[in-house]
Structure 1
Amino acid sequence: METQKNKFGNWLKNSITARMLMVGILIIVLLIPLSYIQSLIVERSSRQESVVNEINQKWGNEVLLYGPILKVPYKTYTEKLLTNSETKKVTKETIEHTNYAYFFPEELNIESEINPEVKQRGIYKTSVYKSSIKLNGSYSKPNFNSIEANDKDILWEKATVIIKTSNLKGINNQVEIALNKHNYSFVPKYEQQDRNIYNKEVSMHKLETSYLDKEGLISKKGQLFSINLTISGSKQFKVIPIGRETDLNVKSNWKTANFIGEFLPLNNDKITDDGFNAKWKVLHINRPFSQEYFKHLPNLKEFAFGVNFMIPVDEYQKSERSAKYGFLVIALTFLVFFLIQSISKIPIHPFQYLMIGLALTMFYTLLISISEHSNFLKAYLIAGISVIGLIVLYSKSILKTFKFPLFIGVSLTALYTFIYVIIQLENYALLVGSIGLFTILALVMYASRKIDWSF
């Protein structure tokens, strides 16, 4: 019995197969703390997003403008057959309905000056802004020819102008429209919103004027209008190009401009030393919707365009991508120690492998914690140098020589550098990663060619 135990102990101590099994088991065990670290990164990213959203909600959310839109009610009629139960006589009853027609401006010129500032809560930052917006343009006489409505059925005296926006809270002035030499104030009109928790669309709120002057509205001449807005917002500023010709000009002192949406600025000199001055021109032929709608106003948010003022925070995304390579780092590091042990015959205890693996997992906790207070490159350098230095010093006490710890330090430095390069790349990440892994495989095959693999 003791002889069998001694044989089993010698097999565990001297067999390459036993060491390979031990290393494989330790790698699987270390996947547990790696999974917790990845969960920590997701949790911190969610925390950052919730804090930013809370700041933005208190200040004012993103601004999306849809309007001004001319709203004209009109009557339609349907006939219903009624049968008398006693005489069986059939009569016709005409039922009157009130519908609404919506007309977009012929010209829509929007000039906006937006100067964001950074708000901070704890370690989290977001950008908010105050904007001054001027809308000018003109309407032509509403055309009902497409539905063949009689002029007597058009309720010109009940026509209004509406604006839809995603941010009522941020409006800082009394909103009025100057139209046909009259001023009309906008008031909020409640509309039922879709409260589905899975609906990620921005909610739109409606502002509407009182009834417009009929005489000016039915004039054949173009009716000029102007609106002034001052809005506090965050994240983005976007407009929907509802004019037959829409011109947008946005000026800002924001240095990192990010233009978003269906249309991009036309001017090549939009980026300046002081910020940006972007200009758009969108014609009705450039968008797939018409100038008038009857009965229903369409949802055109997908055609909005503008500027994104959000502060890019990609430290969590980079940390998460880095943690996905944790299995590769641990496996390759253990492989280096395994090859050194097999070539030099220096014994390495499983506990020592475990300590080295835990040191490798500590890299990611250091990375995420330091990157929250600094940039990703600095955090990566500090975490990498700390972990590599710790492992080199620890391996010096195990291997008793300088050449093997030095080789381990160089290998880890090359591996972390390789992973950092992959993280920074987008279009060539797969190509570089494939070439790098092929090179690593070739080096391992070359280093292991003279090992005695006998059981």
Structure 2
Amino acid sequence: METKKQKIGNWFRTSISARMLVVGFIFLILLIPLGFVKDLIRERETRQVEVIEEINEKWGNEVILNGPIIKVPYKTYTEEKIFDEKTKTFMKNYKEVLNHAYLLPKTLDINSNVNTKQLERGIYETVVYSSDITMEGTFSEFDFSTTDIPKEDIDWEKATLLLQTSNLKGIRNEIRISMNQKDHTLKPKFDEAYMSTLESGFIKDQLKGNGDSNFSLKIKINGSEALRFVPVGAETSVSMYSDWHSPSFNGNYLPNDETKKITNQGFEAHWTVLETNRQFGQQFFNNLPNLNKFAFGTSLIIPIDDYQKTERTSKYGILIIGLTLLVFLLIQIISKIPIHPFQYFMIGLALVMFYTLLISISEHQNFLLAYFIAGIAVVGLITAYSKTILKNKKFPLLVLGSLSALYAFIFVIIQLENYALLVGSIGLFIILAIVMFTSKRIDWTNQ
């Protein structure tokens, strides 16, 4: 029995193939704790999203504003055939149906001042805002000439004004719309539509028989993540001013390049959208469709997401573990210094610990400092450990240089966006070339 164990031990110490198989098996085993680390990163990122959503929900979520819009009821008639038992014939009956027409503004000018602040809960933070919004514009006359609706079936006496919003809870003032110098208060209207609706009282007396009708209103609203507007005006102009330094302009329309300004103190942006730029007209009959997909505006983002950077770093964990074990394997084969499989396993666990250190430190410090601390701790630990194994200074210095270069290379890659694949491919090619030429020194005849 003792002789059999000695043969196995001698086979591992003398056979290159045996050492490669054992190190390969250890590498596969280390993928298990590396997978647990990736799950931990996703769990922490999910927790961050949940906390931010909870904060935003209490303050006020994303704001989308659509309107104002004039709503005019009108009657149509449907024909019904009723069978008369006495005469054995069908009689025609006309049933009255109430519908609504919707008129969008001729011009719409929006001015928005957005004041931001960052809210924190524990280690998590989000950006929220309070916005003062002014809307001004004009309505032209309804054009029923394209329909077969008689004038007497149009109920102008019950015309109202609508304003739709995605964030009714965030409104901080009573919204009063002035139309032709007469004020109307907009009140919430219960419906199950995609957006909450505010509706005024009847505005018949404020509608001009000929010419345009002017309107203006002011809104104070709390929100988070984004502020967007639907371009309901035949000519819509939007100006936005904010103290936030990292805006992301999104939606169907981008601000005018010549007027857009972004500095460390904030930004300003201006949009102009014409009816010809949209895919809908100025009037709707029967129902008002969902126009949210045409909304545009600004998202207020926190530019650095350390969880995303940590997750990107962990994707290179297989590369770091594999190359480090390969370096130790090549040292063992070339120098004939014995390295026990348990020692390989300890080195691999130290490499896995880099990611737990990185995510835990980055929750309290910036990512650069967290990466620097975690990298120095792991590289220093493995270098010191290798000195006790390899019994000289030359090979530990090789380990130190290899790991330092590898972690520096990974850090450069995760900072890049457009060139990450290019730089990564070139780096891997160079690493492969180094391994190929280093392996020429090995006597492969001893299998």
Settle same-fold status: TM greater than 0.5. yes
Please tell me the root mean square deviation across aligned C-alpha atoms, in Å.
1.4
Shift in CA distance, 358/100, structure 1 to aligned 2, threshold 3 Å: same
> In structure 1, what residue type is equivalent to 2:296?
F
Q: TM-score normalized by structure 2?
A: 0.97
C-alpha distance in 1 between matches for 2:260 and 2:222: 27
Counterparts of 1:26-425 in structure 2 under 5 Å? 26-192=26-192, 204-213=195-204, 215-217=205-207, 219-266=209-256, 267-272=258-263, 274-425=265-416
Equivalent pair of 1:130/1:233 in contact (CA under 8 Å): yes
C-alpha distance in 2 between matches for 1:175 and 1:76: 33
Equivalent pair of 2:259/2:270 in contact (CA under 8 Å): no
> In structure 1, what residue type is equivalent to 2:10?
N
Residues 398-425 of structure 1, C-alpha deviations (whole Å, 9 max, x = no match): 0011111111111111111111122112
C-alpha distance in 1 between matches for 2:76 and 2:408: 72
SS at match of 1:248: strand
C-alpha distance in 2 between matches for 1:308 and 1:90: 61
> In structure 2, what residue type is equivalent to 1:335?
L
Residues 230-273 of structure 1, C-alpha deviations (whole Å, 9 max, x = no match): 11111111101110000111111112222221112213352256
Equivalent pair of 2:62/2:225 in contact (CA under 8 Å): yes
Shift in CA distance, 272/346, structure 1 to aligned 2, threshold 3 Å: closer
Equivalent pair of 2:60/2:169 in contact (CA under 8 Å): yes
Report deviation, 1:87. 1.9
Q: Which residue in the other structure is 1:442 paired with? A: 433
Identity %: 54
Report deviation, 1:6. 3.1
Shift in CA distance, 56/181, structure 1 to aligned 2, threshold 3 Å: same
Residues 181-218 of structure 1, C-alpha deviations (whole Å, 9 max, x = no match): 3211111111225xxxxxxxxx52111111112x4425
C-alpha distance in 1 between matches for 2:7 and 2:122: 61
> In structure 1, what residue type is equivalent to 2:89?
K
Equivalent pair of 1:234/1:310 in contact (CA under 8 Å): no
C-alpha distance in 1 between matches for 2:235 and 2:335: 78
C-alpha distance in 2 between matches for 1:221 and 1:393: 86
Q: Which ranges in structure 2 are unaligned for 5 or more consecutive residues?
A: none
> In structure 2, what residue type is equivalent to 1:26?
I
Equivalent pair of 2:111/2:240 in contact (CA under 8 Å): yes
C-alpha distance in 1 between matches for 2:407 and 2:50: 31
Q: Which residue in the other structure is 1:196 paired with? A: none
Q: TM-score normalized by structure 1?
A: 0.95
Equivalent pair of 1:270/1:279 in contact (CA under 8 Å): no
Q: Which ranges in structure 1 are unaligned for 5 or more consecutive residues?
A: 194-202
Equivalent pair of 1:247/1:280 in contact (CA under 8 Å): yes
Equivalent pair of 2:247/2:301 in contact (CA under 8 Å): no
